[in-house]
Amino acid sequence: MFYASWLSKEWLNDNFGILGYPLSRFEQEEREATEEWKSRFEVEILLIDSLLAPLPPVP
């Protein structure tokens, strides 16, 4: 028998949608902050990549 006691309810909701109950306010705020941090981090990585692009060869 499969026991999912070690799985978080957030993971189950995201991957299977089987629990169906809303996250607490703290969990929702934490998720939104994580998404905002990820998007800022991705923009910073793109900026760094563009700055580190190879320069044309010097003749």
Q: What confidence tens digit (pLDDT) does each residue in 19-58 have?
A: 555 667 777 788 888 888 888 878 787 777 777 777 777 7
Q: Which residues contact 22 (CB under 8 A, 6 or more apart)?
A: 28
pLDDT of residue 14: 65
CB 11 within 8 A of CB 18: no
In this prediction, residue 1 has a pLDDT band, given cuts at 50, 70 and 90, of very low
pLDDT of residue 9: 66
Q: Which residues contact 4 (CB under 8 A, 6 or more apart)?
A: 12
Higher pLDDT, 36 or 6: 36
Q: Where are the domains of the chain?
A: 9-51
CB 19 within 8 A of CB 12: yes
- pLDDT surpassing 50 at residue 18: yes
